[in-house]
Structure 1
Amino acid sequence: MDSMTQPFLAPAPVPHTRPLGMLGFVWTASRNPIEIWGSRAFKEPYLRANWLRVPTIIVNDPEGIRHCLVENAANYVMQPLRQRVLRPMLRDGLLTAEGELWKRTRRSLAPVFTPRNIAALTPAMQQKSQSFAQELAARSGETIDVAFQMTLLTYGILQATLFSDDITGEPEEFAHSMDKFLARMGRVDPLDILDAPAFLPRINRLIGRRSTNYFRRLIAGTMEKRAELLRQHPDRAPQDFLTLLLQADGLSRSEIEDNIITFIGAGHETTARALGWTLYLLSQSPAERQLVEQEIDAQLASPGDPASWLDRLPRTRAALEEAMRLYPPAPSLNRTALQQDRVGDMDIPAGASLLVMPWLVHRHELLWDRPGHFMPQRFLPEARSQIDRYQYLPFGVGPRVCIGSSFAMHEGVIALACLMQHLRFDYVGATAPYPVQKITVQPRGGLPMRVSLRKTQGRLPEHEARPATPIGQG
């Protein structure tokens, strides 16, 4: 089957052709930041603008990205606007920490995310994904919100791998609170754009305070419960991420809490959105979906170690990666220049804002053939060499590249394979989903999709649980 036939044009805001003006810019940026971009942003390697009297340099060129975020990364610190939006909720988590705190936190967390530890968690990812697929199979013929359901699935995986299910609270209660939390956490307040004094209340943060406090109470209680178990019966403590974090050197209890909140808010949410968008895009690309289904059927006839699925399912992985190109988990990387710099023919003054926008780079006309279309074959092994390292940035780049990228890729491919082995998802919305940037790129109004069984037997096989290799061993 020719998967190149009529590739699907993924829904996205239409770039504007005229300046938005000050009021239009502030309103658009606070409502949906990816709508601020005009057509030039998708055609030129560098742009310069003055936003609120601050020079702003947009870098789309891969060589410029490499220079700024890798070779000269020390010259670029986190942009104040980004910190004003995220830091009140994430505090000293890895995503918002800076300077020596960031270095110390990164060093402390690096041993937690080793390939050996990630591989040890893949059986739990498989078990949770297969159990979730069984639950959806019982709802065959129903219309479900796949965006919300993927939040439930990734929360289940998070519970199993981070906490070994040793956490209070119901999954649906958590997922609803997560939606409220993220809706506020990633939303830019007009007062933040205008750099208004910190003492002026931000409505979004006031509304989101209750869900934030809920998460912190939940995490603090879970941490204390585990810490007590480690003190009294260390041999009984699950060897999961929480235990590794509590045993890590160099992190205070409050810093561990901040990083768990960051893992939940950034890691869990980004994978959920990537899964939802992938299932939607495949539903609009029947030829691609059939190829993925055929690969899953062939490879999972003998499933083997789920840690190997990332290599054994290249077409499934390619569909996920193409979805993350079109709807990047982190749509913006914002920095401020400490000293003057130059990229290409563009001067970057000290104090200027530097924007590397995966939303732009991933859809840039100079970098991609048919950039707005869903074409997973771009990411098949034989085509990967044509993609510059710095034109595809789903997990960022440079020293601050996402520490959990390997975890997320294993989780995404395992979840997709378990869902698509026996189920099919068809989009039934009256209109195409519309992407909105919050902390991630989310579908406004969700993803209404009809779930149905692919297999005639009507029931998924029971998952045969096998013991996982303890984290830190094997």
Structure 2
Amino acid sequence: MDMIPEAFSPPAPIPRTVPPSRWTIIKTILRNPLELWGEPSYTLPWIKTKFFNERTLIVNDPGLIKHVLVDNAANYRMADIRQLVLRPILRDGLLTAEGAVWKRSRKAVAPVFTPRHAQGFAGQMLSQSLEYLHKYEEIGSEGAVFDIAADMTELTFAILTETLFSGEIVTESEHFSDDVNELLHRMGRVDPMDLLRAPAWVPRLTRIGGRRMLDKFRGIVHKAMDQRLEKMRRDRASAPDDFLTLLLEKAGPDGLTMGEIEDNILTFIGAGHETTARALAWTLYCVANSPHIREAMEEEIDRVLATDAEPVAWLDLMPYVRAAFEEAMRLYPPAPSINRAAIADDEWTSAKGERVTIPKGITVLIMPWTLHRHELYWEKPRAFMPERFLPENRAKINRFQYLPFGAGPRVCIGATFALQEAVIALAVMMRRFRFDATDATDPWPVQKLTTQPRGGLPMRVTRR
């Protein structure tokens, strides 16, 4: 009888057993917030605490999460700390807008991301994945080492710009992934002034270096908008019916402002591809350390692709590939925190009759990072076990214990797009190549805007 190999447990911070000092909290938040959390965050359903005299409710219980994000979502706005970090980058984009502005943007972009419409992108996702693989074609018999974190950033950007912008969002840099990393390193993290709740006009010294890169990205977006508007003015029929055109046609007194359009385009460039890129890189890393899982994925990929099935069907035909990607998102959620603040007093009662009071103004912190590794809800929570997400096992997973795309009215609008993109990209890559760890492969998860491997992710690529 064959023995099932021990599941791989990828690197992650060990939960703290001693409460950190105030100074340690500051240093850890600035360096890597993922290293802050102690054992209670991984073992208790909820915790009430204080961060810098601000009341905070840390929520892990799926029922309470549902209450906050769905059942009484109208009572919870974006938390101040989240907005202080993200609004300087995204302004009134879909991730950061609230109230009427958010409703306008959500309504404007929704038609592009319906499941049926998203499925129509499958052919472009396949062609861009195949095109990107040309960079690996010249490797010799011993293979070659590539920074897979950077490669996945470039691949997902190529897919995004082709599907949503018809290839007309063009960067002038050959090192696009470096530009993204610099932007997120400078802008996508907490500054000491954020912790002190200083007004937005107070300079954030840690972000001064990121302003140049942010201006560069906004310049790229502005140029693409101007070029498309000129094409639409000359001959509307010549303009592609893509996301960019759709947004520009929503401009006007009853629709979006030009600033909101720019913000939403930047949001999808900065966050829409970045989250999928990180999850793809972590998937390849975890699979490389799980030979029996890689073998199962390769068998599935070879079998499906031998049938000449259309790429639009791959998401359903490759449940193991999808499960590996979803398990990687469990261990390394692309968006590791969800922050809300209570607008008015609220309360919730658990199935066991335990009552949780939620006073007005309290910060509610839902951490996919800790939730996805929580001992109450997962067997071997630190282990990479894709079988959790196979069709026959999915019913065991509560909808609100797994939140890679959030939940409720502000659930990620591109979830179907991202899952389809990931399965197509993984299938194309793993059909022809293998990705293995090297002596230099020593990733450490760091929370910026997304969960990133510190120092990149060098891996050896060889032909199958």
For residues 323-364 of structure 1, give each alpha carbon's deviation from its aligned partner in whole angstroms, at most 9, with x where no partner exists: 000000110000001111223432211110001110011000
Matched, 1:304 2:309: yes
**Corresponding residue for 1:461?**
none
Q: State the 4+ residue runs in structure 1 displaced beyond 6 angstroms.
A: none
* Match in the other structure for 1:470: none
> Is 2:408 the counterpart of 1:403?
no
Aligned to 1:275: 280
Q: In the alignment, which of 386, 397, 412 is matched to residue 376 of structure 1?
A: 386
Identity of aligned residues (%): 53
For 1:175, the equivalent position in structure 2 comes to 177
Of 423, 427, 435, which aligns to 1:413?
423
Match of 1:258 in 2: 263
CA contact (8 A) 1:152 1:172 kept: no
Q: Which amino acid aligns with 2:91?
A: R
Query: Structure 1-normalised TM-score?
Result: 0.93
Is the 8 Å Cα contact of residues 31 and 188 (structure 1) preserved in structure 2?
A: no
C-alpha separation in 2, matches of 1:432 and 1:35: 17
Contact 2:186-2:208 within 8 A present in 1 as well: no
CA shift, 1:192, in A, is 0.6
Q: Find the residue that maps to 1:421 and give its secondary structure.
A: helix
Runs of at least 5 residues in structure 2 that lack an aligned partner in the other structure = none
Is 1:294 aligned to residue 305 of structure 2?
no
More displaced 10-residue stretch of structure 1: 162-171 or 382-391: 162-171
Note the residue ranges of structure 1 that are not aligned, 5 or more in a row.
Answer: 455-474
Q: Distance in 2 between matches of 1:227 and 1:406?
A: 29
- Deviations 1:194-221 (Å, cap 9, x if unpaired)? 1124333212321100110001111111
Tell me the distance in 2 between the aligned counterparts of 1:303 and 1:3: 34
| Aligned residue in 2 for 1:460 | none
TM-score by length of 2: 0.95
Q: Does 1:317 align with 2:327?
A: no
CA-to-aligned-CA distance 1:423-445 (integer Å, 9 cap, x gap):
00001144631100001100001
Q: Distance in 1 between matches of 2:128 and 2:358?
A: 48
Kindly report which structure 2 residues correspond to 1:11-410, keeping only aligned pairs within 5 A, or say none: 11-140=11-140, 141-170=143-172, 172-248=174-250, 250-343=255-348, 344=350, 345-410=355-420
Task: Say whether the 8 Å CA contact 2:440–2:458 is kept in structure 1.
Answer: no
Number of aligned residues: 454
CA distance in 2, matches of 1:279, 1:258: 32
Summarize deviations over 1:167-211 as a string: whole Å, max 9, x none: 333463332211111222321111111112433321232110011
SS in 2 for 1:347: strand
Quick one: which amino acid aligns to residue 75 of structure 1?
A: N
1: CA distance between counterparts of 2:230 and 2:26? 49
Deviation at 1:300, TM superposition (A): 0.7
The amino acid across from 1:362 in the alignment is: H
Match of 1:426 among 433, 436, 449: 436
Moved more, 80-89 or 338-347: 338-347
Q: Summarize deviations over 1:351-378 as a string: whole Å, max 9, x none.
A: 1000111001100000000000000000
Q: Please tell me whether the aligned partners of residues 27 and 190 of structure 1 are also in contact (alpha carbons under 8 angstroms).
A: no
Asked whether the 8 Å contact 1:69–1:398 carries over to 2, the reply is yes
The root-mean-square deviation of aligned C-alpha atoms, in Å, is 1.5
* TM superposition shift of 1:5: 2.2
